[in-house]
Structure 1
Amino acid sequence: MTAVLFKDLSLSESLNQAIIDMGFEEASDIQGQTIPPLLAGRDLIGQAQTGTGKTCAFAIPIVERIDPLSKNVQALVLCPTRELAVQVAEEFRKLLKHKRFISVVAIYGGDPIQKQLRALQKRPQIIVGTPGRVIDHLGRKTLRLNAVKSVVLDEADEMLNMGFVEDIEKILAFTPKERQTIFFSATLPKAILDLKDRYQNDPVHIQVARQKRTTALIDASYYEIHRRKKMEMLVYLLEQHQFQLGLIFCNTKMQVEELVERLQVKGYSAEGLHGGMPQRKRDQVMQRFRKGTVHFLIATDVAARGIDVSNIEAVFNYDLPLDQEFYIHRVGRTGRAGKSGMAITFVEKSQLPRLRNFLRCPEISLRRENLPLLAQQA
């Protein structure tokens, strides 16, 4: 398939600049195929095992179609988990970097309701939320969807697996019938096909196959562990295996900074890498890691894009990644250049449904390991 450049997609100058700032020039397969019909207002089902790139695949056309002069909610993205909602909202913020008078708010359970009420009072045009919290705000009349132009169900199959089908239908009832309806899903079970028949109008179906990647040299395992025990378990494994060069992934820059500090206190040569750091500092950290003067690099997914160090012995998923593609990208940093490597993932009990979804991917195989005594007590 011929490569599609973002500059050839007839996007506004401000949006193109934001995409350049994010480090992208060439659209991924899912982006190249979905952005044109979505810009044209078509309904769409995007089916792909991969998660990387799918957010921008729907976010770019949504941002482009927002009317900045209207303070109504014009786009709603529903996500199965708060983690994914936060991630999607952050992608929107990056795309809105050079757009004036357009804003996005994430609403999800577990976050103080008063904080969300204040954010909604500023009248954002884009809402990213979990079904339960969206319904909560609809019931309070603090959220109105009567002017929505686009609705996205992200990871639709996972939302249905989690029992959100009634909530989704309740939310859709608050939106105009004449709207753009977009599904992104790794699989298309009958329940999604039923939703398609009921709520979509002649949707475009885009299916993108994942590229084959070799993970045969990687010994991958996971531990089901309580959040409070993860640090203790990490240190135990570092001591047990005596790794000389390792990469530790976290989902947020705050977690990166906290983990760096805690490892340094324990005497480890560790530094962090996240998107909130100036580029010059990120380059300096990477140079020290490549030279081996820093033994453990703690990073977020965005910051770690492009890391290519052949002698990384182990990758730790301190935080379970948000989707399958992030997992494959992370563990692929080890076992390179014909060498073997280890990939160790920490999974909290509440994250087991996401892990099961990962294991549906034929490229992902994880062996469950028993916790040592030190980590068995919560």
Structure 2
Amino acid sequence: MVTFKDLGICEQLNRITVSLGYKKPTKIQIFTIPHALNKKDIIGYAQTGSGKTIAYLLPIVQNLIIRKSIFNSLIIVPARELAFQIASHFEAFGNIFGIRIAVVVGGINAGPQKALIFMNPHILISTPGRLVDHLAKTIKLKLDKISIFVLDEADRLLHLDFKKEFLIILSELSRTKQSFLFSATMTSKIEKLQKNFMKAPVKIEIHQKYKAVKTLIQNYIFIPRKFKEIYFVFLCNEFIGSSILAFVDTQKYAEKITLLVKLLGFKGGCIHGGLKQSKRFENLHKFKLGEIKLLIATDLAARGLDIPCVDLVINFDLPSFAKEYIHRVGRTARAGNSGRAINLITQYDVSSCQKIESLIGEKFIELKYNPKFVLEIEKTVLETKKKVDSFLRNLTND
């Protein structure tokens, strides 16, 4: 069995790695860490939950153990939650070595972030927009000393179209930096981007393109569109006690479904881009702790976020893009554990469903259930839905 020590991780860091529960490296870590320690630029393609964060974290921390320098590493991510999640990993590994971390993201008062920058952090974790704001307004912030530059969830970053911000950030970085680019999928934009800032990168691809993990059971229920809420509540009842992450297309529907399930007695919450940052953190934290068992989300939560022990992913709405399906269902069946995804398919979703099945090379399995239990809750759900619709209309009018 390959160990982290075999990959070149020093004894001090290896002990911490084992104590934190990382007994053996994953495939992406096995292939990435030696090249990273040898100062190579790296492009890593691996599916969600494969351990990409630790693959670049350990070389960065080890680099700082050997030579502690301020503004040593810059990590760019697409979402605020992901930035704080990565920071928590760095704190777990780096606190004992006195490694300072600054998180610089939008949606939060820039003042405290500016103070963190003035404290000369060793590692800067940021979203592109807020970093560019600080580059323009914070004299202390210079990126020319950055030794290691990381783009995490690169495909997501490029999908969100941060081209202008990237050009500004890249222009501030040293040509001698070491660069890591990690992505769940390979795109033409990534190929183009790497040519602009990477030096003969080592390319590592761990998984088959767009393949769901083998431990994931993928089901579907074919239903009339108007009965979606009824079947969703039925599934919540059927899998009560399980940790359920459900995806919807819009912020408005995330709020609507959350209100519906709460009125029906479920402990639920939602996360989407329209929520205040503090509320998003609160709901995500409660879900991780098991205080709420049902989390309704837009695709904000589909990528990168470390949400352990998700038993079931429900696609209330199928994703607009087939590739996004892999990212959604990647929230369950992680690290070799089993999991399930259930897709609510209506007459309007058949084409999208076929595209997803074609992409992943698998057919969804029809979920077996007793229709009697659906009929038993139909009246209650429809009456509650009317109350929710009325409440939301009055709220809008006010």
Say whether residues 1:235 and 2:262 are aligned partners: yes
User: In structure 1, how many angstroms separate the alpha carbons of the residues matched to 2:51 and 2:15?
Assistant: 17
Distance change >3 Å, CA 132–CA 247, structure 1 → 2: closer
Worse overlay, 166-175 or 107-116: 166-175
Say whether residues 1:255 and 2:283 are aligned partners: yes
Post-superposition offset of 1:356? 7.3
1:340 matched residue in structure 2: none
**C-alpha deviations, 1:140-189, integer Å up to 9, x for none?**
22311111111111111111111112211210111110011111112222
User: In structure 1, how many angstroms separate the alpha carbons of the residues matched to 2:165 and 2:69?
Assistant: 25
Distance change >3 Å, CA 42–CA 323, structure 1 → 2: farther
Would you tell me which structure has more helix in proportion to its own residues? 2
**Matched residue SS, 1:65:** helix
Give, as a single letter, the amino acid of the residue that structure 2 aligns with 1:72: I
2:102 maps to which of 101, 105, 122: 105
Post-superposition offset of 1:207? 0.5
Contact 1:324 1:358 in 2 (8 A): no
Post-superposition offset of 1:22? 2.1
Say whether residues 1:139 and 2:136 are aligned partners: yes
Contact 2:144 2:172 in 1 (8 A): yes
User: In structure 1, how many angstroms separate the alpha carbons of the residues matched to 2:166 and 2:203?
Assistant: 21
Contact 2:258 2:268 in 1 (8 A): no
Q: Identity of paired residues, percent?
A: 26
2:294 maps to which of 292, 316, 319: 316
2:350 matched residue in structure 1: none
1:122 maps to which of 108, 119, 123: 119
Post-superposition offset of 1:87? 1.3
Say whether residues 1:372 and 2:385 are aligned partners: yes
**For this pair of structures, how many residues does the alignment match?**
305
TM (normalized to structure 1)? Answer: 0.69
Contact 2:303 2:328 in 1 (8 A): no
Post-superposition offset of 1:253? 7.6
1:298 maps to which of 274, 285, 291: 291
**C-alpha deviations, 1:106-140, integer Å up to 9, x for none?**
10111111110111111101001001111111112
Post-superposition offset of 1:57? 0.9
Distance change >3 Å, CA 172–CA 51, structure 1 → 2: farther
1:65 matched residue in structure 2: 63
Contact 1:248 1:298 in 2 (8 A): no
**C-alpha deviations, 1:183-225, integer Å up to 9, x for none?**
1112222221111122111111110116423323576864445
Q: Report 1:41-190 matches (<5 A).
A: 41-66=39-64, 70-100=68-98, 102-140=99-137, 141-190=139-188
Contact 1:76 1:126 in 2 (8 A): yes
User: In structure 2, how many angstroms separate the alpha carbons of the residues matched to 1:87 and 1:117?
Assistant: 20
Contact 1:359 1:365 in 2 (8 A): no
User: In structure 1, how many angstroms separate the alpha carbons of the residues matched to 2:46 and 2:197?
Assistant: 21
Post-superposition offset of 1:37? 0.4
User: In structure 2, how many angstroms separate the alpha carbons of the residues matched to 1:91 and 1:108?
Assistant: 17
User: In structure 1, how many angstroms separate the alpha carbons of the residues matched to 2:130 and 2:304?
Assistant: 27
**Matched residue SS, 1:32:** helix
2:354 matched residue in structure 1: none
1:358 maps to which of 301, 324, 327: 324
Largest Rg, 1 or 2: 2
**Matched residue SS, 2:78:** coil
1:200 maps to which of 194, 198, 201: 198
Contact 1:5 1:26 in 2 (8 A): yes
Contact 2:220 2:343 in 1 (8 A): no
Post-superposition offset of 1:105? 1.0
Post-superposition offset of 1:249? 9.8
1:33 matched residue in structure 2: 31
1:291 matched residue in structure 2: none
Contact 2:155 2:184 in 1 (8 A): yes
User: In structure 1, how many angstroms separate the alpha carbons of the residues matched to 2:100 and 2:328?
Assistant: 38
Contact 2:76 2:127 in 1 (8 A): yes
Contact 2:70 2:122 in 1 (8 A): yes
1:214 maps to which of 195, 212, 216: 216
2:232 matched residue in structure 1: none
**Matched residue SS, 1:73:** coil
Give, as a single letter, the amino acid of the residue that structure 1 aligns with 2:283: Q
**Matched residue SS, 2:84:** helix
User: In structure 2, how many angstroms separate the alpha carbons of the residues matched to 1:373 and 1:51?
Assistant: 39
